[in-house]
Amino acid sequence: MNELQKQYTKILADYIEEQTERNLYIGQNFIRQLLQKNIAPEEVIHIHKSAVEEIIDDFPISLRHAYDFLIEVMVHYGLALSEHKSLLQQQEEMQLELQVATNIQNMILKSHVPKIDGVDVGMISVPARKMSGDYVHFIDDKNRYIGIAVADVVGKGIPAALCMSMVKYGMDSLDYSESEPERVLEVINRIVEKSVDDSMFVSMFYGRYDVETSTFAYGSAGHEPALHYKAASQTYEELVAKGLLLGILPDGNYEQHEVQLQQNDLVIMMTDGVTEIRTNLEMDAMAIITSIISEHKHERAQQIVDEVFKQLEKMQNFELSDDFTLVILKKN
Amino acid sequence: MNIIFQVQESEQVIRGMIEGELDTFTAPQLKEELEAMELAEGVYVEIDLSKLNYMDSTGLGVFVGFYKRAKREQASVKLVGLSSRLRRLFEITGLSDLMEIENEKRVELSNEGI
């Protein structure tokens, strides 16, 4: 400290003697040194006071009091400053942790599109923000059945991500014997209901395709109905099944229905990020989607979903307002 | 994008009117205002949605949360003035079987009988 005091007194004396840019510059450099050494603001004033006392012979007592006063009040200023610094540091740490969490979420929630003879599945899921509230889960017995769950957690960010993980582990715990849609929805509802706060819930569509009989059984927990495109008549039909959102009541009753798929039929499952698109055109989102699909129905399922996303994104000026998930199952 | 929530309170009846768009950005504001509403046994809350231009699932979450609280405190909630789009949203989600909803805004009740 003594060394710093001496240096500062010299710099100040030089400046009082001659107010040049150069002398000012030396002072600025000196302050930078103090910052690096983490000298608190009130200590800087103390150094200044001692320097003034030494340089000016008849330093009035009233000014001395004034400096003491400033030193006292700057103590609080210094405290606030260091608090601010540590908050910034904490924020940086949290952002880092959030990034790690996002990576983990992306890793554990990664869905692998199953490959089974006789059926072609395409999927696209794009988050609007860092963490997605949409989730697609496939149950695949590599033989006869494919189970497809498309879920949307209401609420965004970390709570939604945690909820999503619960759904995932719930789905993982099911075995194939329990993969009837009504059963799946009942089980997941019980898991979500127990552990979620009041304004958070999940909508989920679950369908199970039987390759041997070409039947698609499905149920819905408050989810957007899937569409069934019938190649023979070139028409779309909604696959409606009654059922309350997951996580609202402990006992959910879910309807289960079945539909028979013919060659080149499509089942189109989506989240409301797809149907709730806001475009400048006053057009029905569903009409837009079905027209894009009809145009590309001869392509592979993956190409169709990519094309729908590409065109809808263009309509929204490349800005997603909600997570976007679309899954198409095509019977070969 | 914004939202306006207006409330009229008389002893056992609270009427609210929501105007604007209800989405991820505006939902927290409405949630806060609904949470601040004092409910008690026998209180009847009617929320008019006829001037709500847009609502996504986050908005639905706000109503579900409010409905659950009202149920716990034995108050009743009714949503009125739902457009066909909103009605569809409540039907798809199964909430129309749980909560009371009404399409048209009903004729103002006279003070008798309340």
| Domains delineated in chain B | 3-101 (3.30.750.24)
Terminal C-alpha separation, chain A: 83
Respond yes or no on whether ipTM tops 0.90. no
Taking a C-beta distance cutoff of 8 angstroms, is the pair A241, A280 a contact? no
Q: Please, which pLDDT band fits residue B80 given cuts at 50, 70 and 90?
A: very high
- Calculate mean pLDDT across residues A246-271: 92
Candidates B54, B61, B98; nearest CB to A155: B61
Alpha carbons within 13 angstroms on the beta-carbon side of residue B70 total 23
Q: Could you tell me the pLDDT band of residue A285, with boundaries at 50, 70 and 90?
A: confident
Q: Is B44 on the interface with A (CB under 8 A)?
A: no
- Whole-structure pTM over 0.80, yes or no? no
* Tokens encoding B108: 């103002």
Give the residue-averaged pLDDT of A285-304: 91
Option in B24, B31, B54 nearest A199 (CB) = B31
Does residue B76 sit at the A interface (CB-CB below 8 Å)? Answer: no
Question: What are A325's strand-pairing partners?
Answer: A125
- Mean pLDDT, residues A10-26 taken together: 93
Q: Do A152 and B64 touch (CB under 8 A)?
A: no
Per-residue pLDDT of A41-69, as tens digits, reads 899 999 999 999 999 888 899 999 999 99
- Mean pLDDT of the B14-21 span: 90
| Nearest to A238, CA basis, from B57, B96, B92 | B92
Greatest distance between any 2 Cα atoms in chain A:
105
Query: Could A154 and B58 be called an inter-chain contact, meaning their C-beta atoms sit closer than 8 Å?
Result: yes
Considering only CB atoms, which chain A residues are within 8 Å of B98? 244, 248-249
Asked whether the predicted pLDDT for residue A268 surpasses 70, the reply is yes
Q: Which residue of B has its CA nearest to A246?
A: B93
Interface test with A, best of B21, B93, B96 (most A CBs within 10 A): B93
Contact A205, A138 (CB under 8 A): no
Domains of chain A: 2-102 (1.10.1240.30), 112-331 (3.60.40.10)
Q: Looking at the predicted structure, is the pLDDT value of residue A277 above 80?
A: no
Q: Check A221 against B23: CB less than 8 A apart.
A: no
Residue whose pair of structure tokens reads 């306006």 in the numeric block: B4
Contact of A184 with A157, CB cutoff 8 Å = no
List chain A residues with CB under 8 Å of B64.
198-199, 201, 245, 248
Q: What gap in Å lies between CA B69 and CA B65, rounded to an integer? A: 6
Q: Which of residues 4-43 of B touch A (CB under 8 A)?
A: 23-24, 31
Q: Which residues of A touch B31 (CB under 8 A)?
A: 199
Average pLDDT taken over every residue of chain A: 87
Between chains, do A245 and B93 touch, taking CB under 8 Å as contact?
yes
Burial-class residue A317 by CB neighbours within 10 Å (0-12, 13-18, 19+). exposed
Q: How confident is the model at residue B8 (pLDDT cuts 50, 70, 90)?
A: confident
